[in-house]
Chains A and B, each alone.
Chain A
Amino acid sequence: MELTPDSIVYARWGFFELNATIVFGWVVSAILVVGSWLITRNLSRGAEIPRWQNLLEVLVDQIRTQLAEITRGSGTRYLPFVGTLFLFIGMSNLLLIVPFYQAPTASLSTTTALALCVFVAVPFYGIVQRGLWGYLKSYAQPSIFMLPFNIIGDFSRTVALAVRLFGNIMSGTLIAAILLALAPLFFPVLMNALGLLTGMIQAYIFAVLAAVYIASATQAQPSAEGPQGTTHD
């Protein structure tokens, strides 16, 4: 019984281990990169477009619409970052239906890396939008007494991002494995279906939370955590 795919080691060079997390993370990235490259090689603008191009258009358009709603403006600036997060997590959770596949998101290493990306991106976008001093001032909102809590909140929400995704995906695979040992054939199928649903919801939530954090960091009027920001244009 492995808790994470980190413990499945394929090869070893000195202190470096090639484990299942790294391998399948690269597999998911390769599928996304090569697939996008193949599809976008010959885009057409006619009345009839290829079905794969249609799929990508629907995806990109949906993500852009959601981002524009969350950030209350043009979501196009954050589309590459948030869209990549969503597609990577969603793809790695969707592939769980493939036999012998270990989701890289079931490992705390992968989820921590993704959460750290958000942790770095939020101040970056905030400083780009509002300047260094403007961004730092947002930590003293609504009063200077909230300064330590705002700083603690930054770290705790990053931890929550990482552990939430890891816990959900890991629990899904673990429950499926345990049920497979207890009652094969029927219940694991149901649990796998539930795991797929959970995985997609988690991908959505990760992307939305990243967008919400970016939106609250880039607003002229910073708000409390959550999508309920007050903008004074």
Chain B
Amino acid sequence: MTEMSTIAMVSIITAGLTMAIGSVGPALGEARALAQALSAIAQQPDESNTITRTLFVGLAMVESTAIYCFVVAMILIFANPFWTAVAGG
């Protein structure tokens, strides 16, 4: 078990867990927002423009948390600072 393999193992496991756990919450929240928006559009078709725009803005806000998780996972796999430090890169 060298330093390199430990760092690699921990990074990969953490990246997988980050994506797995970090996408559950946003997915549930976005699905709920979408369901609400659909029922709102069904009740008031005239307001569908405003509802859709607000939905997209809200989805973007929620989406950003999932994207933070994704960026952390990508950094861990492709641009790991500890890896380069140990590998002497």
Contacts and interface: CB of A to CB of B under 8 A. Distances in A.
B64 interface: yes
A85 interface: no
A167 interface: yes
Contacts of A166: 71
B7 to A, nearest CB: 18
A164 B60 contact: yes
Contacts of B67: 163-164, 167-168, 171
Nearest to A166: B71
A171 B68 CA distance: 12
Interface of A: 1, 3, 66, 69-70, 160, 163-164, 166-168, 170-171, 174, 201-202, 204-205, 208-209, 212, 226-228
A123 B57 CA distance: 21
A174 B56 contact: no
A174 B74 contact: yes
B68 A163 contact: yes
A3 B58 CA distance: 28
B46 to A, nearest CB: 14
A212 B79 CA distance: 34
B36 interface: no
Nearest to B54: A227
A contact face: mostly helix, strand, loop, or mixed? helix
A167 to B, nearest CB: 4
Given A3-B78, A3-B79, A69-B49, A204 B64 contact: no
B74 A226 contact: no
Given A3-B78, A163-B64, A164-B64, A227 B57 contact: yes
Contacts of A160: 61, 64
A31 B49 CA distance: 31
Contacts of B71: 163, 166-167
Interface string B42-70: 00000001100110111011011001101
B56 A201 contact: yes
Nearest to A202: B60
21 contacts: A1-B78, A160-B61, A160-B64, A163-B67, A163-B68, A163-B71, A164-B60, A167-B70, A167-B71, A171-B74, A174-B74, A201-B56, A204-B56, A205-B56, A208-B57, A209-B60, A226-B54, A226-B58, A227-B54, A227-B57, A228-B54
B57 to A, nearest CB: 6
A205 B60 contact: yes
Nearest to B60: A205
A156 B54 CA distance: 20
Contacts of B63: 164
A10 B58 CA distance: 40
Given A160-B64, A174-B74, 8 more contacts: A3-B78, A66-B53, A69-B53, A166-B71, A171-B70, A212-B57, A226-B54, A227-B54
A204 B78 CA distance: 29
A113 B48 CA distance: 33
A140 B64 CA distance: 26
